[in-house]
Amino acid sequence: MNFQRMTQTRVRAWLATIVWTISAVGFFLAYFSGGGPSEFDTDSRRHLAAAAAIAFGFAAYWSGLWLTRKREGQVVADERDYQVVARASQATLIVVLVIVFLMCTLLWLIHEAEGVVDVGWMWFLAYGCMLLALVTNAVLVLVLDRRTGGHE
């Protein structure tokens, strides 16, 4: 894999995939360790660890965007790249909506008898959906770029 020969769109998609996957793993470890969802809302150390994982993702991603910015005499993206990103965004919306629906339905089925869902699951839905959308979009850009005969 030669990043020097890739388009900006592909480089940024690889960057986003790597960075947001690492961030998601960090968030999931912080969320599910030490008591899981029932105790997440009251555990400030786990809040801080989850926030640090998310902050790492944003800092690394924004740094990557800055490092891959347009340079003089360089073609950054063409119409094909714009179409790939647009299609990936549309598919990402569908994937995230389906996952949110399934997750909410599953939570309801599991906790129906109790009549209460731990508030910690709201944290998971909020951050999990954001991370799912960011990783899914980056992966779909790479898949669609490849399927449409991605150029270097």
The per-residue pLDDT for range 4-51, each reduced to its tens digit, is 677 888 899 999 999 999 999 999 999 998 888 888 888 899 999 999
Residue 150 pLDDT > 80: no
What's the predicted TM-score (pTM) here? Answer: 0.86
Alpha-carbon distance of 15 to 2, in angstroms, equals 13
